[in-house]
Homo-oligomer: A and B are copies of this chain.
Amino acid sequence: MTIEKKIHKAGPYADYFCQGVRVDNALYLAGQVGMTESGDIPSELSGQVELAYKNIIAVLGEFGASMDNIVDETFFVTDMEDCMANVPAVFAAREAAYGKKPEVCQTLVATPALVDPRLKVEIKVIARL
């Protein structure tokens, strides 16, 4: 068994967990949010989705992987009504990140809160290399 771990240097909790852990051909990622390294957060859900995927792509890239490697994703959204009302924009941001209609499993549930009150979505993905 081969294990490889990647720890982002940025962020207040960088010391406490990895953004990605690869075990053989399975790659687990920490839930990603739409926050820049300097702490900026877009106000719109679709903008946060776009940024969360940008962060996901960065972590995947550290393992030599890309969006093509994602097999499963879970969305935790703080406002399901807002999410469903903005499905076209949200799915467009997602499709842009994948570069095509994503062929991955998806689970979409609401959460009362994420780690920052401005956050509207956290995306947890599993990839296979």
Interface residues of A (CB under 8 A from B): 1, 3, 5, 7, 13, 15-21, 23-26, 28-31, 71-72, 74, 76, 80-81, 84, 87, 91, 94-95, 101-115, 122, 124, 126, 128-129
Residues of chain B lying within 8 A (CB to CB) of residue A103:
5, 7, 17-18, 21
Please give the count of copies of this chain that the complex contains.
3
Dominant SS among interface residues on chain A? mixed
- Name the CB-closest residue of B to A59: B105
6 smallest A-B Cβ distances: which pairs?
A31-B107, A80-B113, A17-B106, A110-B113, A28-B72, A30-B105
Q: Is the CB of A21 within 8 A of B112?
A: no
CB-nearest residue of chain B to A73? B17
